Amino acid sequence: MLYSIYQQCTSLREVVTGMRACEGKLHTLGIKYFPARSTLSDANYKRSHEVFEQIYYRLYQHWRHVLPDSLMREKQARNLILIDSTTISLFQEILRNAGKSPANGKRKGGIKVHMSVYAAEQVPYLVKMTPAITHDSNFMYELHFPKGSVVVFDRAYHNISILKQWTDNGITWVTRRRAESVIIEERNQKITSEEKNKGIRKDTFIQLGSKQKTQARIVRYFDAETKRTFEFVTNNRKLPALTIASLYKKRWQIELIFKRLKQNMPLRYFLGDNENAIRIQIWCALIADLLLKIVTIGLKRKWAFSNLAALVRLHLMNYTELRKFLENPEKTKITIENKLTTQLKISFLTG
């Protein structure tokens, strides 16, 4: 499955024939036989996607101590958690999609991938997959944060009772105001000339909710670059208004993760037509993404993720020291054979 992800295979035939062409090299990985398309299809149907889920989380736990970006080591960045979801369209209605049915009655399915990400790590520490029709707010029940966390999320994640619970547990949250939100204004905060010049238009303490209420605050912010006005809602009444606006802007990082996955991993074509196979492929894409993130840790030379993914795809079956190659690809020699390979071949031929 990792071969299919890195090589961006779009069919079972591509996976099977591509691997057969690399038969000699794959023996060094302990792969001594190559399954037929039907065997691979059956395996993706029968083997639980939870196997791949556990592999992802174990990899993450093993490597998370080296994941934080050196540019985001300040305390606020380390505690910043981003929440969002992305929908992946499917070729048929395997999982129910949101929206109206098309006129021809041939409705496509969709799977929604919810993520919770530490901003400094740039890979998800929690992933939940649901049918696309499932509302985002259901993901909030899966979330548990340590005291002192700062959580940023879109307005689709709206559950007053959970927001109140997070407030009671010492968790700061920042979101955008929903048009239908019930608010009671308490008092307006004074805006300094510096805040006004940088886009703050209003800072108001409020009560949020109707039947259940929680103390909150609305910060109205004008973005001079996009000429748009935003209203941010938070339970933190101490942080400067500009900091609240800045925190919400960091939510864009999780959008970049979704973009990275969709552009560089084969998530438009699936190797199976059942829910289990689809979940397996998404988990394998997350594993492949995490491995690429890990291999770049500590490199002096910076790589655009798309270039890195393309390079790995081109040299996937070559023998080379990857980190050394990434530091200086122009001077690194890529060998077709090495002593270990020769020894393994001799052992294999002699039995």
Average model confidence (pLDDT) across the chain: 86
Q: Is residue 233 a part of any domain in this protein?
A: yes
Q: Is residue 259 a part of any domain in this protein?
A: yes
Residue 264 pLDDT greater than 80, yes or no:
yes
pTM for the model stands at 0.85
Q: What is the 3-state secondary structure (H, E, C) of the chain?
A: CHHHHHCCCCCHHHHHHHHHCCHHHHHHHCCCCCCCHHHHHHHHHHCCCHHHHHHHHHHHHHHHHHCCCHHHCCHHHHCEEEEEEEEEECCCCCCCCCCCCCCCCCCCCEEEEEEEEECCCCCEEEEEEEECCCCHHHHHHHCCCCCCCEEEECCCCCCHHHHHHHHHCCCEEEEECCCCCCEEEEEECCCCHHHHHCCEEEEEEEEECCCCCEEEEEEEEEECCCCEEEEEEECCCCCCHHHHHHHHHCCHHHHHHHHHHHHHCCCCCCCCCCHHHHHHHHHHHHHHHHHHHHHCCCCCCCCCHHHHHHHHHHHCCCECCHHHHHHCCCCCCCECCCHHHHHHHHHHHHC
Q: Which residue has the higher pLDDT, 290 or 104?
A: 290
CA 40-128-75 angle, to 5 degrees, is 125
- Among residues 241, 231, 247, 234, the alpha carbon closest in space to that of 119 is found at 247
Task: State phi, psi for 331 to the nearest 5 degrees.
Answer: -110, -5
CA distance 220 to 223: 10
- Among residues 275, 282, 285, 283, the alpha carbon closest in space to that of 109 is found at 275
pLDDT band at 344 (very low <50, low <70, confident <90, very high): very low
Instruction: Give the torsion through C-alpha atoms of 93, 36, 346, 324, to 10 deg.
Output: -20
pLDDT band at 76 (very low <50, low <70, confident <90, very high): low
Q: Is residue 131 a part of any domain in this protein?
A: yes
Per the structure, the complete domain to which residue 115 belongs is given by 49-281
* Rounded percentage of the chain residues whose pLDDT exceeds 70: 87
How high is the pLDDT of residue 163?
A: 94
CATH number of the domain at 144, please: 3.90.350
Give Cβ neighbours of residue 237 (< 8 Å, ≥ 6 apart): 205, 215, 217
Best-predicted range by mean pLDDT among 60-74, 77-91, 230-244? 230-244
- Among residues 53, 67, 80, the alpha carbon closest in space to that of 153 is found at 80
296, two tokens: 């770049």
| Count of structural domains within the chain | 1
Q: Is residue 40 a part of any domain in this protein?
A: no
Q: Is residue 337 a part of any domain in this protein?
A: no
Within its chain, how far is the Cα of 345 from the centroid?
Answer: 40
How high is the pLDDT of residue 331?
A: 74
Q: Is residue 252 a part of any domain in this protein?
A: yes
The b-or-e profile of 240-264 (16+ CB within 10 A means b, else e) is: ebbbbbebbebbebbeebbebbeeb
Contact assessment for residue 299 and residue 323, using Cβ atoms and an 8 Å cutoff: yes
How high is the pLDDT of residue 318?
A: 82
Q: Is residue 73 a part of any domain in this protein?
A: yes
pLDDT of 149-178, one tens digit each? 999 999 999 899 999 999 999 999 999 999
How high is the pLDDT of residue 346?
A: 45
CA 80, 84, 88, 94 torsion: positive or negative? Answer: positive
Q: Report which DSSP code applies to 224.
A: T
148, two tokens: 């002192």
* Range in 8-17, 25-34, 294-303, 341-350 with the lowest mean pLDDT: 341-350
Best-predicted range by mean pLDDT among 21-35, 67-81, 254-268? 254-268
* Mean pLDDT for the stretch of residues 84-92: 82
3-state secondary structure of 151: strand
Q: Which residue has the higher pLDDT, 348 or 142?
A: 142
pLDDT band at 195 (very low <50, low <70, confident <90, very high): very high
HSE (side-chain half, CA atoms, 13 Å) at 174 = 28
pLDDT of 98-157, one tens digit each? 445 544 444 457 889 999 999 999 999 999 999 888 889 999 999 999 999 999 999 999
* Rounded percentage of the chain residues whose pLDDT exceeds 90: 56
- Scanning the structure block, which residue is given the tokens 């062409």? 21
